[in-house]
Chain A
């Protein structure tokens, strides 16, 4: 393309990709690159046991690089997906047992997510 038309085409592709991600977000709860800012406030509490020994808060924070208990300001699935991805890949050999209790937008922490599922 002449006269920098390829640059315009690239920008249009970027805009179209965002529109695509907005549609994709209807089927994927992680909501990456789809403009869902601060749409959920998830209070959570992570417990991890490896070889029968529970990890303390600092060890959990070191493992997942997030506080062991606190708030996730993106999508809830972002938090759970992070832990699942870690346990499936970098932490796979630890055979960790993980339990996350969480509550969305002020609800009590009654929802429970576990790994392995």
Chain B
């Protein structure tokens, strides 16, 4: 029997960062710094993605500034931006000056977008803003601000589409998915819903989902954020399947970022009561590099965090999900599968 109850503090006081005098040098560890584990984990994975997906190398030299100013910056600006980003990602990975590093990485992306208008993209804007907000961490309120960032983004996307006649008529989707992308899913769906109805249906579904997501994320209860996170995961997952692209760094970093809405226990804040002979308990101890779990011996499974108590299978699930090791494995597995898929696609 699984059960979960929320404490009176519910998400308000939980997830305080608990910096220790000397955080671990282990790159897989995410607790004991000036950031909560989930925010640091997100920032580390995003840093790795920036390097792995070529954003570090693509940082631009000054060319046509986005807002018409400034011209005439030295070409070495590119090298300076790359140096700062690389250094900041390196320090972040090893848990040093984590907040300053997030701000530095976010600023390099922003400066890159300002000194060369070709470097501008919404994906980079999203990553830069999220890194800046994480770097400006100021207690649990920051979770609210991160949710608001998502809400503003979804609202902005929906408003832009609503004012575009080609989105309202479905023409954009018909051309993008049916003609440019040759999306297998879209073409299959055409046999069920004829054009222009299919394009219009998907256009308005997209606009509707974005408005619902913005609305849910602005509500004050965690259950709505969970609903929004699940809806967003499904929505972006579907867009990846249909368009056959990750939209560069956007979808991976956005998907992992869905975890930053929630309170995350710090070191020793996962009070787990469980039978000691359980194989899962032994595995959890090995995977708990951050020493989040405070294990007590008991007959049945119970997990207490600063803001909730869960029992049964939900306790098992939550304790796994709260461990950064789970997310490292999930992210590396997803990256491996995606690369294998790309390789397979080029072979076929």
Contact = CB atoms under 8 A, between A and B. Distances in A.
A18 B138 contact: no
B228 to A, nearest CB: 17
A7 B164 CA distance: 36
A117 interface: no
B64 A82 contact: yes
B327 interface: no
Most chain B beta-carbon contacts within 10 A, residue among A5, A10, A104, A105: A105
Given A41-B176, A41-B180, A85-B64, A4 B138 contact: yes
Contacts of B137: 7
A8 interface: yes
Interface stretch (B73-81, B82-90, B165-173, B268-276): B165-173
Contacts of B163: 26
A104 B133 CA distance: 36
A5 B153 CA distance: 24
B172 A37 contact: no
A14 B180 contact: no
Interface in A84-111: 85-86, 89-90, 104-106
Contact of A85 (B117, B121, B125, B156): B117
A8 B153 contact: no
Interface string A28-69: 000111111111110000000000000000000000011000
A12 interface: yes
A36 B118 contact: no
B24 interface: no
Interface string B253-268: 0000000000000000
Interface residues of A, number: 41
Contacts of B247: 37
Nearest to B158: A35
B156 A106 contact: no
Given A39-B172, A86-B64, 6 more contacts: A7-B136, A35-B157, A36-B161, A37-B157, A38-B176, A89-B71
Interface of B: 63-64, 66-68, 71, 117-118, 120-123, 125, 129, 132-133, 136-139, 141-142, 145, 148-149, 152-157, 159-161, 163-164, 166-167, 171-172, 174-176, 179-180, 247, 250
13 contacts: A4-B139, A8-B136, A8-B142, A11-B132, A18-B129, A19-B152, A33-B125, A35-B154, A35-B155, A36-B122, A39-B164, A40-B164, A106-B171
* Closest 8 pairs between A and B when the two form their complex, measured CB to CB: A35-B156, A106-B175, A36-B160, A7-B136, A4-B138, A37-B122, A7-B138, A105-B166
